[in-house]
A and B are shown apart, each in its own frame.
Chain A
Amino acid sequence: MTHVHPRAADYGQSFLDGPIDDESELTAGVKIEPGKSYGFFTDTTLCIGCKACEVACKEWNVLPADHAEFSGMSYDNTRDLSAHSWRHVTFAERMDPDDRPDEMPPYQTAWLMMSDVCKHCDPAPCLESCPTGSLFRTEFDTVVVQQDICNGCGYCVPSCPFGVIDLSTLDGKAHKCTLCYDRLKGGLEPACSKACPTDSIQFGEITELHERADKRVEQLKDMGREDAYLYGAPDTPGATGGIEKLNAFFLLTDAPEVYNLPAAPSRSAERLRPALATGLAAFAGVAAVAAVLLGGRRKGR
């Protein structure tokens, strides 16, 4: 049964004076405080592929539309994360025409849907590769691009093992999910997880989310979902190649590749030296390479 948060009773009027104080307590059960680590636990077994996260993100962050054509990729017309799409619901139809299911194990099956997002890696390869200090780790342990510093070098782009960070065609700078940095500062849950109708996207303190996720995996296994596992929690797939954990981590029921996630992501530190220590010439060279790579990728769309 639904019971609203007890503090809702303090706001019994139709008109309010302003935002509800520490609204995140009401919507996510957590008070947001600097110095703690926050992130997302995305439980794909609860995802209904509605894309509320995509819309809530775009409307909050005033991001423009990316695509206006039918992709044919199941119900996914967003296609990928980009400078203008910070949430992306992937759809994977896993239905064998010779064996279409009637009875299914509990929760999401046969048509897999997952809301992808920046992983806010710890440590974050993009941040390590940023020569300007534009990318930084916030007081909420999230990774944010500061556009007032970013010079659009694009060094971060190839460094991201998940293909998340992207240069905008509008201002030439790097953009990606900020985990709603501005909202966190105001005690508000990020727009996407707040909107999520089935709580597939859960926002909270990372350690608490890890506990919750472990319990969820156990619960699912008890229900016969032996296929459930975490991706990006410490010591799980996704937390590999020098990445200790993803602050946005996932519960999956099929191979990572099915969800368009790398099976074993790794830090770019081995591939591209951190830029702050390298000279300007090296930076310019890599930026040029990145621009070529990026240009090619754009044409490929």
Chain B
Amino acid sequence: MSRDRRTPFNRVGEFLNQWSVPRQMRGADHRTDAARSRMSETLRPRLEDADRVGTSICPYCAVGCAQLVYARDGRAIHVEGDPRSPINEGTLCPKGSATIGWMNAPDRLSKVLHRAPYSDRWEEKPLDWAMDRIAHLTRQTRDETFVEALPGGETVNHTLGLASLGGATLDNEENYAIKKLFGGGLGMVWIENQARV
């Protein structure tokens, strides 16, 4: 098995560019003899740069810790515990503390990747194209596999040819829409998630 590992050190550039202290020191006079440098004089926490601060709920486990998401110019600049929450009172575990790392993960996808049958590669595709294609395939598979009644005559109105897996990481509204469309609309019965307990 080849190890597809890009080293964590690839955050080096980010470190040099974003680490709060050097970021603040740009333009500072490094020859000053004073104990407190200009960097130290002007230093402020970057949370103060935020132009939007909203409440989120930690996306990892089910404890439900509240988080404050700080953003500037449409990009999250930091996520930390919300001190108002009676659950976490500002604290976060190692995973919750890494939420900003998740949002800005180096490997995040930003485009739809498509792998054609028998192909050996991913290809980037427009979102609309993918949605149209998926809708077409969904209809085709449903139409090919839909069963209105069993041989004994019992109405079932379902398809066993389509399946959906996942939901425990999703919002209630999303789970509702999944069950409604896939179950109530399309007749899917293979609908499952991580919560089989």
Contact = CB atoms under 8 A, between A and B. Distances in A.
B86 A2 contact: yes
A123 interface: no
Nearest to B104: A59
A194 interface: yes
Interface string A24-47: 001100000000000000000000
B16 A195 contact: no
Contacts of B81: 27, 194-195
A4 B29 contact: no
A54 B12 CA distance: 17
Nearest to B49: A18
A258 to B, nearest CB: 23
Contacts of A191: 80, 97
Given A68-B7, A133-B33, A170-B15, A195 B39 contact: no
Nearest to A199: B91
A62 B53 contact: no
Interface residues of B, number: 63
A27 B90 contact: yes
A194 B85 CA distance: 13
Contacts of B24: 182
Nearest to A27: B90
Given A14-B54, A63-B15, A148-B30, A182 B43 contact: yes
B36 interface: yes
A194 B46 contact: no
A56 B92 contact: yes
Contact of B29 (A50, A65, A148, A186): A148
Given A62-B14, A65-B8, A182-B20, A4 B45 contact: no
B44 A20 contact: no
Interface of A: 2-5, 8, 11, 14-20, 23, 26-27, 50-52, 54-56, 59-65, 68, 84, 133-134, 136-138, 144, 146-149, 170-171, 178, 180-183, 185-186, 188-189, 191, 194-197, 199
